[in-house]
Structure 1
Amino acid sequence: MAHPFDALTAEAMRAGGSWKWTGREMVAGADARGRGLIGAFVAEMDFPTAGPVAAAVRECADTSRFGYLADGWVADLAEACAAFWADRFGWAIEPERIRPVPDVMTALTATIEHFTTPGSPVLLPTPAYMPFLTVPGMLGREMVSVPMARDPFALDLDALDDAFRTSGAELLVLTNPHNPTGRVLTAEELADVTAVVERHGGRVFADEIHAPITFDGLRHRPYAATSAAAAAHTVTATSASKAWNLPGLKCGQVILSSDADARRWADHGYLAEHGTATPGVLASTAAYTHGRDWLDDVLAYLDGNRALLRDTPLPGVATTVPEGTYLAWLDGRGLDLDEPPAAFFAREAGVVMTDGAACAGPGGMRLNLAMARPVLAEALERMAEALDARG
Structure 2
Amino acid sequence: MEAVAEQLPDFDLTDDDLRRRGDKKWRDCPPDAIPAWLAEMDVAPAPVIVAALREAVEAGLVGYPTLTGSALPEALSGWLHRNFGWRAEPGNVVLAGDAVVGVALAIEALCADAPVVVPVPCYPPFVAALPRVGRQIVGVPCSLDGDRYVLDLDVVEAELAAGARTILLTNPHNPLGRSWSRAELTALRQAADRYGARVVSDEIHAPLVLPGAVHVPYATIDPDRHITVIAASKAWNIPGLKCAQVITGSAAEAAGLRALPRAANRGVSSLGVAAAVAAYRDGDPWRTGLVAYLHQRREQFGRLLASHMPHVTWHPGEATYLAWVEPPGQPDPAAAALHKGSVLLDAGTAYGPPPGTAPGGTRIPGYDTSVRVNIGTSAERLERIVLGLARAWT
Q: TM-score, normalised by structure 1?
A: 0.90
1:66 corresponds in structure 2 to 62
Please report how far the alpha carbon of residue 270 of structure 1 lies from its aligned counterpart in structure 2 after TM superposition.
Answer: 4.2
When structure 1 is superposed on structure 2, of 54-63 and 256-265 the one drifting more is: 256-265
Partner amino acid, structure 2, of 1:285 = V
CA distance in 2, matches of 1:15, 1:67: 27
**Is residue 141 from structure 1 mapped to residue 135 from structure 2 by the alignment?**
yes
CA distance in 2, matches of 1:345, 1:315: 17
**Is residue 49 from structure 1 mapped to residue 52 from structure 2 by the alignment?**
no
CA distance in 2, matches of 1:43, 1:219: 21
User: Residue 322 of structure 1 aligns to a residue in which SS?
Assistant: coil
**Is residue 100 from structure 1 mapped to residue 95 from structure 2 by the alignment?**
yes
Structure 2: gaps of 5 or more residues:
1-5, 353-366
Aligned identity (percent) is 34
CA distance in 2, matches of 1:374, 1:5: 15
CA distance in 2, matches of 1:6, 1:57: 19
Select which of 340, 365, 368 maps to 1:362. Answer: 368
Please report how far the alpha carbon of residue 344 of structure 1 lies from its aligned counterpart in structure 2 after TM superposition.
Answer: 1.1
Partner amino acid, structure 1, of 2:161 = R
Select which of 150, 157, 168 maps to 1:173. Answer: 168
1:32 corresponds in structure 2 to none
CA distance in 2, matches of 1:222, 1:76: 22
Select which of 6, 17, 20 maps to 2:22. Answer: 17
Q: How does 1:153-302 map to 2 (within 5 A)?
A: 153-166=149-162, 168-226=163-221, 230-268=222-260, 270-273=262-265, 275-302=267-294
CA distance in 1, matches of 2:262, 2:67: 13
CA distance in 2, matches of 1:276, 1:71: 8
**Residue deviations 1:297-339 (CA, integer Å, cap 9, x gap):** 111111110110111122321012220011111112x2x12x3
Specify whether residues 63 and 133 from structure 1 end up closer, same or farther in structure 2 by C-alpha distance, changes over 3 A only: same
CA distance in 2, matches of 1:309, 1:233: 39
**Is residue 114 from structure 1 mapped to residue 109 from structure 2 by the alignment?**
yes
When structure 1 is superposed on structure 2, of 102-111 and 202-211 the one drifting more is: 102-111
Specify whether residues 274 and 143 from structure 1 end up closer, same or farther in structure 2 by C-alpha distance, changes over 3 A only: closer
Structure 1: gaps of 5 or more residues:
30-35
CA distance in 2, matches of 1:3, 1:152: 29
Q: Cα RMSD between the aligned structures?
A: 1.8
User: Residue 232 of structure 1 aligns to a residue in which SS?
Assistant: coil
CA distance in 2, matches of 1:384, 1:262: 49
Q: Is the 8 A contact 1:39 1:353 kept in 2?
A: yes
Specify whether residues 376 and 5 from structure 1 end up closer, same or farther in structure 2 by C-alpha distance, changes over 3 A only: farther
Specify whether residues 183 and 2 from structure 1 end up closer, same or farther in structure 2 by C-alpha distance, changes over 3 A only: closer
CA distance in 2, matches of 1:198, 1:260: 21
CA distance in 2, matches of 1:282, 1:7: 25
Please report how far the alpha carbon of residue 64 of structure 1 lies from its aligned counterpart in structure 2 after TM superposition.
Answer: 1.1
**Is residue 375 from structure 1 mapped to residue 381 from structure 2 by the alignment?**
yes
Please report how far the alpha carbon of residue 161 of structure 1 lies from its aligned counterpart in structure 2 after TM superposition.
Answer: 0.4
CA distance in 2, matches of 1:61, 1:281: 12
Write 1 or 2 for the structure with the bigger share of helix: 1
Q: How does 1:4-43 map to 2 (within 5 A)?
A: 4=9, 7-23=12-28, 26-27=29-30, 29=31, 36-43=32-39
Specify whether residues 55 and 131 from structure 1 end up closer, same or farther in structure 2 by C-alpha distance, changes over 3 A only: same
Specify whether residues 94 and 318 from structure 1 end up closer, same or farther in structure 2 by C-alpha distance, changes over 3 A only: same
Q: Is the 8 A contact 1:176 1:210 kept in 2?
A: yes
Q: Is the 8 A contact 2:225 2:248 kept in 1?
A: no
Specify whether residues 267 and 307 from structure 1 end up closer, same or farther in structure 2 by C-alpha distance, changes over 3 A only: same
